[in-house]
Amino acid sequence: MEAPISSQKTAIGTITEVHGPVVIISCKRLPPLRQALYACFDHTTFLFEVHQHLDQHQVRAITLHGTAGLSRGMPVYDSGAPLHVPVAEQCLGRLLNIFGEPLDGQPELPQKDYRNIHSKPAALYETAGITGILQTGIKVIDLLCPFVKGGKTGLFGGAGVGKTVLVMEFIHAVSAIHQGVSVFAGVGERIREAHELWREMQQAGVMQDTLLVFGQMDESPGVRFRIGLSALTYAEYLRDTLQKEVLFVMDNVFRFVQAGSEISSLLGRMPATVGYQPTLTTEVAELEERILSTQSGNITSVQAVYVPADDMTDPAVSTILSHLDTTVILSREQASKGIYPAVDPLQSGSKLMDKHTLGERHYQIAEGVREHLARYRELEDIIAMLGIEELSESDRRIVMRARKLQRYLTQPFKVLAQHSHQPGVSVPLQQTLSDCEAFLLGQYDNISEQQCYMRGSMQEHP
């Protein structure tokens, strides 16, 4: 816990240089790294974070505000602590910035308690291992790439394939199925996207169990670099105080890496692989290693990841991938066929897709579904050129079942009900398994593909 900014009036130094968001401060005594310093101008407080000690009397800091108004000779004060945010249970339902200040026009949070955004991860003996699957009620996710309680899931996809809608449905599921809470970290979000998400979540009725923390695209790289830690601090607080299932959503982790690269260049570090910062691995690990479960509660993470030039071997993507338990790949090809959610069932998967974690039945059914869909993909070119009549009887049967399974794995979402005028559905995992088993055994060979599309379980009337 940290105290708010000190009201001391004795300056510890003065600004000697301003280079964009980088400020060089000459100090009488060197503040520790990551210390929050501040300067005041025209009723505005400018916060800095110390990143480098240049010599015995100079530090290099990154501003966490715009630099308009800063000048040489301006006195700088020590806040007495690293960057910290006010925490309270009333943070749910709110829209905040990196400092915990409201962006929604509502009153400020009661500033009774503070937490350092650079706090260490929970001790190893306090952490809880994987306790099972976090059901979402989304058929394709629960069946083929299940979320792990306390695990980390990456959501890979370009623009317009349904990342935001899927994220909103996850938040709705955690709130409705698990009576949990969600924290959304908007890293470098466009203000239009932030506003749309806020309004849509209010309309979908999930805002009361959600906290949105935004560091916008036009803000300092220092803000975009630290906004994830600020939001994670709130997630840790909710885990420890409410002792509930906490869903931590981060959009977009790649922008966090970009902000780190920007800061690294400003600080004069030599670039490493493909121009990324030499500290890339450490910076990603510092964030990811704090996303864990303790005896108090779980933090399950969903992270949207932009893939530059669709290259999954990019150093930033590879570094993020090494921390993830589940990978959900959204495909434009699926979306173009009207398959929503547009999850690619063959590329998506989980490190925990084994009999010990899922159980024998779930594992066998998931593998059977994947085999049917993989064989159908292999035969698509032959069908396009020669027609389905040229296939063998067994291949024809596999193709027909795979097409029905592909349509069965679509479903209407509750958060889109008012737009699609179709009530959203949530399907329990056991029901999904029973339906898929019936498809594989041929019990639905006589129904049409259209009867499988955009519905809940096969037991319900379409």
List C-alpha distances in Å: 417 to 162, 413, 429.
Answer: 15, 6, 22
Q: Tokens representing 77?
A: 């004060």
Partnered with residue 114 across adjacent β-strands are 86
What is the enclosing helix (H) or strand (E) of 93? none
CA distance 444 to 458: 9
Nearest to 455 by CA among 76, 139, 157: 139
CA distance 241 to 235: 10
Q: Is 288 among the residues known to form the active site?
A: no
List C-alpha distances in Å: 291 to 13, 98, 173, 221, 232.
Answer: 37, 18, 20, 22, 8
Q: Catalytic residue among 94, 115, 163, 407, which?
A: 163
CA distance 183 to 235: 6
306 φψ region: left (φ > 0), alpha (ψ -120 to 50), beta (else): beta
CA distance 61 to 31: 11
Decide: 102 and 94 in contact? Cβ < 8 Å: yes
CA distance 304 to 358: 25
What is the enclosing helix (H) or strand (E) of 156? strand 152-156
Q: Is 108 among the residues known to form the active site?
A: no
Residues in CB range of 443: below 8 A, 6 or more apart:
none
Nearest to 320 by CA among 349, 343, 288, 344: 288
Q: Is 112 among the residues known to form the active site?
A: no
Q: Catalytic residue among 28, 72, 190, 351, which?
A: 190
Q: Tokens representing 303?
A: 């992270």
CA distance 300 to 262: 29
Q: Catalytic residue among 2, 49, 169, 189, which?
A: 189
Kindly compute the dihedral angle of the four CA atoms of residues 71, 77, 82, 86, in this order, to the nearest 10 degrees.
Answer: -100
162 φψ region: left (φ > 0), alpha (ψ -120 to 50), beta (else): left
Q: Letter for the amino acid at 329?
A: I
Decide: 306 and 255 in contact? Cβ < 8 Å: yes
CA distance 373 to 337: 15
Catalytic machinery residues: 163, 189-190
